[in-house]
Amino acid sequence: MTFTLAYALTGLFWLGAALLSLGLVRRAALWRQGRAAPVALGWLMTIPKRYFVDLHHVVARDPFIAKAHVAVAGGAVAVLALAALNYGLMLYLPALDALMLLAALLMLFGAVLVRSRRKAPPARLSKGAWNRLPKSLLAFAVGSALAALLALSGNAFGAAAQGLALLALAGLVLGGAELALGVGLGGPMKHAVAGLLHLAFHPRQDRFSGDKRSTDLKPINLVGKDYGVETPADFAWNRLLSFDACVQCGKCEAACPAYAAGQPLNPKKLIQDMVTGMAAGSGPAYAGNPHPGQAGKVRQGNPHQPIVGGLLDPETLWSCTTCRACVEECPMLIEHVDTVVSLRRHVTLTRGEVPGKGREALANLRDTDTVGGYPLAARYHWAIDLNVPVLLPGEHTDWLLMAGEGAFDMRYQRALRALVKVLKAAGLKVAVLGEVEPDCGDLARRLGDEATFQQLAGKMMNTLGRYRFNRIVTPDPHLFHCLKNEYPVLGGRYDVEHHSQVLADLLERGAVPLKADAAPLPATTYHDPCYLGRYNGETDAPRRVFKGIGIKVVEMERSGRKGRCCGWGGGASFTDIPGERRIPDMRMDDIRATGAEQVAVACPNCTAMLEGVVGPRPEVVELAELVAARLAN
C-alpha cells in the first residue's frame, strides 16, 4: 500500500513539475513581449542574498507576516525539495520522509498563521484568488504531512491507511495545483517564481549594492526616438516580470498620499493594470480596492494597445507625487515611480497632454529656464542687501549657494535670507551664481518632459563648469537630488549638500555663534521632505540641527523614511488632479495630531504646500529660520 502511495507521489511530483514548467514557459512568453534589457544569467546567483537580506528587510517591518511567510515558504520549499529527492528520484528513504514531515508541519504552522490574517483582513489586501491561497497552502501542508506520516508508519494505520492516502493525495493535488497551474494561469502563486526572478533581474541592480539608494530616474535615448512607454510591450521585459511579482499586499496603497486623498490612483491597482495589459486580461479578476472614484469600471488591455486612455485614465497617471512611499513599502521591490514616469514620458513627449498648470510650467521652463516664468535676473533679488558675492568666472568660492525656484517665492525668501545669515555668521565663504543659474529640470523630468530636463541639465552643467567652487549647498531637496543623483550619468559630478547637512555640521562643530539663553521654544514637529528622506536617506541631519539648537522634536507617526508627502512632488501641485481631500491638508492633520505649535520644514515646496493650508493651524517654519532665530547678535 505504502508503495502504491509512493509511486503515486512520484507520478504526482513529475506531473506537477511538468505543469509548472509549461506554466513558466507560458508566463515567460508574456514577459518576453517586452523590450530587451541588459541582464546576465549570473545574476540568478544573487537571489538568496537579495531574498534573505533586501527583501526580508522590508517584509520584517510586519513581524507577524514575516514569521508566517518564513514558515510557510520555507516549509513549502523544503517539502518540495525533499519530495524531488525522495519521490522524484525514487529514493523512498524513510529518513527523508521524516524530514519532509517536519517541513510539512512547519508549513502547516505558517499556513495557519497566514489563514488567521485573512479572518479580518486589512482593507489593503486583495480578496478573490488571494483569499483562496491560504486554503490551498493548508491543503498542501496537510497533504504532504499525511503522505510523509503514512510512508513512515508502515502498516500502523491498518485499514484507515487507504482512506488517509486518498486524503493526502487530494490535499497534494488541490494544494499543488495552486503552484503547478498558478504560474501559468497567473494565479497568486506566480508571485513566488516571478518574485525570485525579479530579485535576480531587477531593473535597478544598484538597489542591492551596498548602501547606495537607487532613486534616480534613468535617462532615455531621445536621439534614438525612445519616447517612454505607450503599450505594455514597450516596457523592458524585466519590468513586465516585476509586475508579476506583486503579491497584492496593498502596502503601497496604504502608504500612497494620492490614494488617501481620494485622487484616482491606487498604486497596487496600477501595477495590476499593467499585469492585465501584459496578459491581455487573462488571469484571475482583480479583487482589491479600485482607483478611487473608479469602482466597477472594467477595463480591457492588450500588450500592444496604448495604456493611457485604455487601461488607465490619464488622471491616474498625473495624481502621483513621485513620493516613493509605495516603493519604500513594497516587499517585492517593485518600482512604481519608474512605471508612472515611463508612462508620463510617452504622453508628454508625444502629445504634450499634461493637465492643469503643468503645460504652462513646462513652457516657462523652455522659454525662461524658470518654472514660474520669472526673469533669471530676479533669482537673487532677495539677497540684494545681504552682501552675497555673485561668483564670476575665474573667482573661487568654498560654497556655492543655489537657491533654486524657491528664490522667487516671497515666503521662502525669508528662509533663504535666514540661511545666508547663518552661513555668514559661521564664517563660511559663500557665493551665488546670480542670473546665470537656470532651473535644474526636476519638475520637467517628473512631468515626463525628458527633453526639457536634458536640455536644462545640459545648460546647468555647462554653467557650473564655468565656475570654480568646492561644494554646492542648496535648501531645495529636488535640486539636491538632481545634482547629486541624476546629473552624474549625464556627466555632471558635484559635491553637493543639503542645507540641513551643512547646518548640522556647523552646529556640531560649534561654528555657529548661538545666543546663550534659549527662550522656551514652542513644541515643534518636523516634516521630512520626500526628496531628502526617502530619495536620499537623509533623515538624520535635520534632527541633528534641532538637537544643535536645543529643540526637542515631537515626531509624527509618519516621519523619517515613512514620512507622508506634502503633495507637491512630481508636479502634482501643477497637474492638480481633484480628489476628495488635499494632500497638504492631510499632512497638516498629521502635524496637528502631535499637538505641536509649529512644524519645521526643509524644502521650498513643502513650505509652500503647508503654508497654503487654510484655517487655524500650526506655524510653518524653515529649518534655517529656526537656526537664525538662535543666532547671537
The DSSP bridge partners found for residue 473 are 401, 497
CB of 558 to other proteins, least distance (A): 36
Cβ neighbors of 161 (< 8 A, separation 6 or more) are 1, 2, 150, 153, 155
**343, interface contact from other proteins, ligand SF4, none, CB < 5-8 Å by kind:** none
C-beta separation of 440 from 525 below 8 A: no
**373, interface contact from ligand SF4, other proteins, none, CB < 5-8 Å by kind:** other proteins
Task: Tell me the backbone φ, ψ of residue 161, rounded to 5 degrees.
Answer: -55, -45
CB of 419 to ligand SF4, least distance (A): 28
Q: Using N-to-C axis directions, what is the helix angle for 2-31 and 237-244, rounded to 10°? A: 130
Which residue type is seen at 386?
L
The DSSP bridge partners found for residue 620 are 599
Residue 253 contacts other proteins per CB under 8 A: no
For other proteins, the binding residue among 97, 234, 313, 369 (CB under 8 A) is 369
CB of 245 to ligand SF4, least distance (A): 7
**449, interface contact from other proteins, ligand SF4, none, CB < 5-8 Å by kind:** other proteins
The DSSP bridge partners found for residue 406 are none
Rounded to whole angstroms, the Cα distance separating 279 from 183 reads 12
CB of 313 to other proteins, least distance (A): 18
Q: Which residue has the cell 516664468?
A: 373
CB of 255 to ligand SF4, least distance (A): 5
**Sign of CA pseudo-dihedral 27, 30, 32, 37:** negative
Among residues 273 and 329, whose Cβ is nearest to ligand SF4?
329
Residue 459 contacts other proteins per CB under 8 A: no
Among residues 322 and 364, whose Cβ is nearest to ligand SF4?
322
CB of 312 to ligand SF4, least distance (A): 12
Rounded to whole angstroms, the Cα distance separating 407 from 384 reads 12
CB of 121 to ligand SF4, least distance (A): 13
Using only the alpha carbons of the chain, give its radius of gyration: 28
Q: Hey, what's the torsion of the CAs at 577, 351, 446, 564, to 10 degrees? A: 20
Helix (H) or strand (E) holding 190: helix 190-200
Among residues 126 and 397, whose Cβ is nearest to ligand SF4?
126
For other proteins, the binding residue among 200, 252, 349, 603 (CB under 8 A) is 349
DSSP string of 236-280, one letter each residue: BHHHHHHHHT-----HHHHH-HHHHTT-S--HHHHHHHHHHHHTT
Residues lying near ligand SF4 in the complex (CB under 6 A) are found at 246-252, 255-258, 265, 267-268, 271, 320-326, 329-332, 334, 336-337
Among residues 111 and 451, whose Cβ is nearest to other proteins?
451
Q: Which of residues 417-456 bind other proteins (CB under 8 A)?
A: 449-452
* DSSP summary character for residue 122: -
Nearest of 215, 255, 328, 253 to residue 561 by alpha carbon: 328
Rounded to whole angstroms, the Cα distance separating 595 from 578 reads 29
CB of 362 to other proteins, least distance (A): 7
Task: Tell me the backbone φ, ψ of residue 85, rounded to 5 degrees.
Answer: -70, -55
For other proteins, the binding residue among 98, 173, 174, 376 (CB under 8 A) is 376
Rounded to whole angstroms, the Cα distance separating 54 from 559 reads 22
Please identify, among the stretches 275-283, 357-365, 518-526, 583-591, the one whose residues bind other proteins according to the rule CB under 8 A. Answer: 357-365
Among residues 252 and 423, whose Cβ is nearest to ligand SF4?
252
CB of 463 to other proteins, least distance (A): 15
Total residues contacting other proteins by CB under 8 A comes to 25
Q: How far apart are the first and last CA of the chain?
A: 94
The DSSP bridge partners found for residue 25 are none
C-beta separation of 261 from 581 below 8 A: yes
Task: Tell me the backbone φ, ψ of residue 473, rounded to 5 degrees.
Answer: -125, 135
Among residues 321 and 539, whose Cβ is nearest to ligand SF4?
321
**Sign of CA pseudo-dihedral 479, 483, 487, 491:** positive
Residue 32 contacts other proteins per CB under 8 A: no
Cβ neighbors of 439 (< 8 A, separation 6 or more) are 365, 369, 370, 371, 404, 405, 456, 460
Residue 491 contacts other proteins per CB under 8 A: no
Residue 374 contacts other proteins per CB under 8 A: yes
Among residues 438 and 571, whose Cβ is nearest to ligand SF4?
571
Grid coordinates belonging to 362: 513646462
Residue 109 contacts other proteins per CB under 8 A: no
Rounded to whole angstroms, the Cα distance separating 564 from 581 reads 14
Contacts with other proteins, 204-223, as mask; x by CB under 8 A: ------------------x-
**222, interface contact from other proteins, ligand SF4, none, CB < 5-8 Å by kind:** other proteins
Contacts with other proteins, 292-331, as mask; x by CB under 8 A: ----------------------------------------
C-beta separation of 301 from 232 below 8 A: yes
Nearest of 388, 383, 402, 382 to residue 473 by alpha carbon: 402
**351, interface contact from other proteins, ligand SF4, none, CB < 5-8 Å by kind:** other proteins
Among residues 450 and 497, whose Cβ is nearest to other proteins?
450
Among residues 354 and 383, whose Cβ is nearest to other proteins?
354
Among residues 178 and 338, whose Cβ is nearest to ligand SF4?
338
For other proteins, the binding residue among 119, 225, 297, 552 (CB under 8 A) is 225
CB of 323 to ligand SF4, least distance (A): 4
**451, interface contact from ligand SF4, other proteins, none, CB < 5-8 Å by kind:** other proteins
Among residues 17 and 222, whose Cβ is nearest to other proteins?
222
Q: Site residues (CB under 8 A) for other proteins?
A: 222, 225, 227, 348-354, 359, 362-363, 366-369, 373-376, 449-452
